Structure 1
Amino acid sequence: MSVAGGGRLVVGVSGGSGIPYARAVLQALHDLEVETHLIVTSGAKRVMAAEGGGPTLADLTALASVTHDDRDLGASVASGSFRTGGMLIVPCSAGTLAKVAGGFADNLLSRAAHVTLKERRPLVLVLREDPLPRPMLTNMLAAFDAGATVMTASPGFYHAPRDVDELLHFVTARVLDQFGLDVPGFRRWKETDPA
């Protein structure tokens, strides 16, 4: 399965808790044979080390088509002339959200997000933080007004999930819906047979 923009997506991983969501999304895109350009921030690497036992940087890069150094502002994904079908940031930290909302492009992740917005390509920010203070709510609205889709890593329960993997699968499918991609096995509301 492919997406617009040359069949490639940029996947950003920032320093919010929830790295398993990133791995689930990358696995689904890998299985769907979508070209992925991965950017992992230094904050995300610190979260991986702190949380331990979850996906590692090696796990994520093994699933990506291309991995970019977050300090490389000359990478292909830093230019609007490099065609993609859009970008998603999962998890999206409060700091990364603020950068996207304010157009502050000090690393490759925030620059690629800026490029995605300026080229009017889909940008999906998957937040995993609660409660939401007013500055974060303001930044969510600013990102939305700039053209981003703001989602929370909030799985549904109508499909009677049996384990954490099924919760991750639900969020993954909803995120990839934003790019017109169908994740096999996703049970939609009032549908009995998953795709």
Structure 2
Amino acid sequence: MNKKRIVIGITGASGAPYGLCLLEECLRQGHEVHLLVSEAGWRVLKEEQGWEVQKREQLFYNRYKHLEGTLLFHPLKDIGASIASGSFQCDGMVIIPCSMGTMARIAQGISGNLMERTADVMLKEKKPLVIVPRETPLSAIHLENMLKLAQYGASIVPAMPAFYHQPQTIEDMVRFVAGKVLDQLHIDHQLYRRWST
């Protein structure tokens, strides 16, 4: 299997399980993952996963150290990190879940932190940028920002589970969305049963 280098960002939108599922699958397959978590993202991890987030990155290392891949954590303020440069070789970036605020700033070309800067690099270098928005209902502003990012080359993969594969658990629904993201990155997986007739 061809090992890839992927950046994963987790923001403050509801839907932390989507990001964690994607992270776990990438590491399980042996890929190199560069992880970013926004301040609001840490709050969502606490509320949705029950994580005590004082130790922050150590939580991720402890949770995923048994997996084959390489996990590298970057603080949001580290604007000089490797992933902030267009010369850094990377196979793509996913922001999952992506808050409407983060999406708006990326759509406007604002690079106020490392997550936004890295997304900007993906766009300018024409590398895969996958945005997984998690909001409902969507305002015209949200839709406009999604359209703008799609026109700039980003893939918009809303957190919309399907039911044709007959999910039995919440995990099945989460795995479907993570699988659709991996499809955008051309990474093989077995996270859900594909449609066949």
TM-score > 0.5 by shorter chain: yes
* Distance in 1 between residues matched to 2:93 and 2:80, nearest whole Å: 17
Corresponding residue for residue 22 of structure 2: 25
Corresponding residue for residue 71 of structure 1: 77
Matched, 1:136 2:142: yes
Correspondent of 2:157 among 140, 151, 170: 151
Say which SS state the counterpart of residue 125 (structure 1) adopts. Answer: strand
More displaced stretch, 44-53 vs 118-127: 44-53
- Provide, for residues 116-155 of structure 1, a one-character-per-residue CA deviation record: whole Å limited to 9, x for no partner: 1110000000011100001111111111111100111111
TM-score by length of 2: 0.89
Corresponding residue for residue 47 of structure 2: 50
* Distance in 2 between residues matched to 1:171 and 1:49, nearest whole Å: 21
Corresponding residue for residue 2 of structure 2: 2
Matched, 1:13 2:19: no
Say which SS state the counterpart of residue 96 (structure 1) adopts. Answer: helix
Correspondent of 2:104 among 92, 98, 101: 98
TM-score by length of 1: 0.90
One-letter amino acid of the structure 2 residue matched with residue 10 of structure 1: V
Matched, 1:119 2:125: yes
Q: What RMSD over aligned residues (CA atoms) do the two structures have, in Å?
A: 1.8
Say which SS state the counterpart of residue 152 (structure 1) adopts. Answer: coil
CA 1:152/1:54 → structure 2, altered by over 3 Å: closer, same or farther? farther
Tell me if structure 2 keeps the 8 A contact 1:127–1:152: yes
How far is 1:52 from its partner?
A: 4.8
More displaced stretch, 163-172 vs 50-59: 50-59
CA 1:77/1:181 → structure 2, altered by over 3 Å: closer, same or farther? same
* Distance in 1 between residues matched to 2:133 and 2:101, nearest whole Å: 11
* Distance in 2 between residues matched to 1:182 and 1:60, nearest whole Å: 24
How far is 1:23 from its partner?
A: 0.5
How far is 1:100 from its partner?
A: 1.1
Runs of 4+ in 1 over 6 A off after TM superposition: none
Alignment coverage as a number of residue pairs: 188
Tell me if structure 1 keeps the 8 A contact 2:16–2:48: no
